[in-house]
Amino acid sequence: MRSLSFHGDDVVPSSPDTALFHILPVPLEETVSYGGGTADGPRAILEASRQLELFDGRSVPADCGIYTAEAMDCSGTIDESLERLARRVSGVAARRAVPVTLGGEHSLTAACVSAIKEHHRDFGVIQFDAHADLRHAYEGSKNSHASVMRRIWEMGLPIYQIGTRSYCLEEHHLRQKEEIAHVNAEIIWRQGTAAAVLPGDFPEKVYITFDADCFDVSLMAATGTPVPGGLLWHQVMALLENIFCDRICLGFDLVELAPQPGMHGATFTMAQLAYVIMGYLVRSDINRDFYDITASPG
């Protein structure tokens, strides 16, 4: 992948020491089980980000500094790739900056979360996804994209799943037995975004993982495992806004985009999602205090 910067030439790249947001492109594609193409996701998002407006409608998140790292080497085994990613994310967290990982398949989230866990003991993981991803293993791999949240649950971290609508009996029974908090897409459709309420004891600090297939296929067909009945843009915006009202975001990832010819709208959607999440963070009082953000939010 040639060197690309998030937002392109209209943003002067910040140094790793001064940037609040560190973009980590991770073209990982090892365990996809239906449609392929996730390895092309990071480059496509970075290229689409060049079309974004600096003003997100409320603020200019880029004013807080964006550093884009070189694309990670994903050669070798998936274990080796996940170890490399964990080291990268840990380095960002050590700077008290925000790792923004662009995938790539969803299995990478386990590495991001394990790295955050080195620096923060008490936090939860909020998952936007069509699938529960709680299988013990899938197609012989415990590092499968279909098992990533099972690995995170095994780390002893609380999970909140948003937008799910496709899962096997194994996952259904585990969610019931272990009382893994979730709100399915159908509930949001019937009751509105107010139905998505984090449990009262959910940690103040969170990590957010966003699988592209959380969106409805009318908005996001460019993903390996599209499922009808997903969330729409303004539903996701309302859910994110609620999260950032009273939660500190330690980092986030966007995964499972599989770019398709002629579907540049889907790629742009993921680029805009990344920038919008940055905007919610820099405007959030609790996050501004945590990261000591002095740049004006508006």
Residue 1 has pLDDT above 60, yes or no: no
Q: Tell whether the model's pLDDT for residue 221 goes beyond 90.
A: yes
Architecture of 8-291 per CATH?
3-Layer(aba) Sandwich (3.40)
Are the C-beta atoms of residues 41 and 102 closer than 8 Å to each other? yes
Domain ranges of the chain: 8-291
Confidence tier at 229 by pLDDT (50, 70, 90): very high
Predicted confidence at residue 33, as pLDDT, reads 61
pLDDT score, position 142? 81
Cβ–Cβ < 8 Å for 161, 149: yes
Taking only the tens place, the pLDDT of each residue in 103-129 is 999 999 999 999 999 999 899 999 999
For the segment 81-96, the average pLDDT, to the nearest whole number, is: 97
Per-residue pLDDT averaged across 21-43, rounded?
87
Alpha carbons within 13 A on the beta-carbon side of 136 = 4
